[in-house]
A = this chain, B = another copy of it.
Amino acid sequence: MILVDGEPATAIDARDRGLAYGDGVFRTLKCLAGAPLWWRDQYDTLCRDCAALALPVPDDDTLRDEVGRAAAGADCAVKILVTRGSGARGYTPPAASPPRRIVMASALPPMAQSGAPAEVSARLCSLRLAAQPRLAGIKHLNRLENVLARAEWDDPACFEGLLCDASGLLVGGTLSNLFWLEGNTLCTPPLDECGIAGVTRARLLRRAARLGLASRFERRPPAAILAADEVLIGNSLIGVRRLARIDDAELSDAGWRIRLDELVHEESD
């Protein structure tokens, strides 16, 4: 089901600035029995992203209600898009156009379903992410880099592609954030120049100390993480999964995956 500004619909105005320029942001949520996981983090992150683009943020209760209506009691993935609404030709933002909300439910992808494998394989993508500090971290609608990177492989045995910046240092996956463990430290790339700073990443970093883990931002080339104790990816749909290999390299398993997946799912903040 799709709701556009709260009304069931299948289409949006052809003059929407989300289409014209990617002028908007989005979120992907997991819903179980129609209830969104991690709503507080998801809404707060939407607010952060809207603020980065000077987009008015939809009302919390209105949006949560629409997520529930789109999910309709099911286990599903719900995508929220917020665009700057319809505009005339040209880049100039409209003076007082209301933002447009699009809330759409889809079936959970296999890796988001219970019983999905705890371990997946990844490959290194050749596309390098461009550095744009004004948009770094934000889940905005300009995602051609992700599309080009995802088009680099079609082997279904490979779940994720890892992306580096122009210097060849790791940023994250096409659809997930990247983590690795070195002793009692949870490492993840900083995302101040490119990449998307997801909700799973924020929850892990905020809570790592509960498992006795320090957390640290690290810029590393891919070769440097092959010897880590364990390498993980995470997003709101799949939770935390271990990378069993990157291309031909087998990666270690230090047993952190299940603990971090439970940590990110804890309800208490």
Chain A residues proximal to chain B, CB less than 8 Å: 2, 4, 9-23, 26, 28, 53-54, 77, 79, 81, 83-84, 88-93, 102, 104, 106, 109, 127, 130-132, 134-135, 140-151, 166, 174-175
Q: Which of A19, A104, A149 has the most CB of B within 10 A?
A: A19
How far does the alpha carbon of A4 sit from the alpha carbon of B144 in the complex, in Å?
A: 22
A127-B131 in contact given A12-B19, A93-B151, A143-B142 (Cβ < 8 Å): no
Chain B residue nearest to A175 in the complex (CB): B91
When the two chains form their complex, are residues B9 and A14 in contact, meaning their CB atoms are under 8 A apart?
yes
Contact B175 A148 (CB under 8 A): no
Which residues of B are found within 8 Å of A89, using beta-carbon distances?
A: 28, 77, 79, 106, 109
CA distance A127 to B28 in the complex (A): 28
B15-A16 in contact (CB<8A)? no
Residue from B13, B54, B84, B143 in contact with A21 in the complex, judged by beta carbons closer than 8 Å = B143
On whether the beta carbons of B131 and A166 are closer than 8 Å, the reply is yes
Given the contacts A2-B14, A104-B14, A144 and B151 also touching, CB distance less than 8 Å: no
| Measured CA separation A10–B14 after assembly (Å) | 6
Whether the Cβ atoms of A140 and B144 lie closer than 8 Å is yes
Complex Cα–Cα for A106 and B20 (A): 14
Nearest B-chain residue to A103, judged by Cβ: B14
Known: A104-B15, A131-B166, A174-B91. A144 touches B147 (CB 8 A): no
Give the 8 A-B residue pairs with the shortest CB-CB distance, closest first.
A22-B22, A11-B11, A142-B142, A130-B130, A130-B132, A91-B150, A21-B143, A89-B106
With A23-B144, A109-B89 known as contacts, the answer to whether A131 contacts B134 (CB < 8 A) is no
- A26 vs B77: C-alpha distance in the bound complex, in angstroms? 30
CB within 8 A of A11: which of B12, B54, B127, B140? B12
Cα A114 to Cα B173 with chains together (Å): 50
Complex formed: what's the CA distance from A74 to B140 in Å? 36
Q: Please state if B143 and A20 are interface contacts (CB–CB under 8 Å).
A: yes
Residue of B nearest to A92 (CB): B150
19 contacting pairs across A/B (C-beta < 8 A):
A16-B19, A19-B141, A20-B81, A21-B146, A23-B144, A53-B144, A53-B148, A54-B151, A84-B147, A89-B106, A90-B175, A91-B147, A91-B150, A92-B151, A131-B131, A134-B148, A135-B145, A140-B144, A141-B144
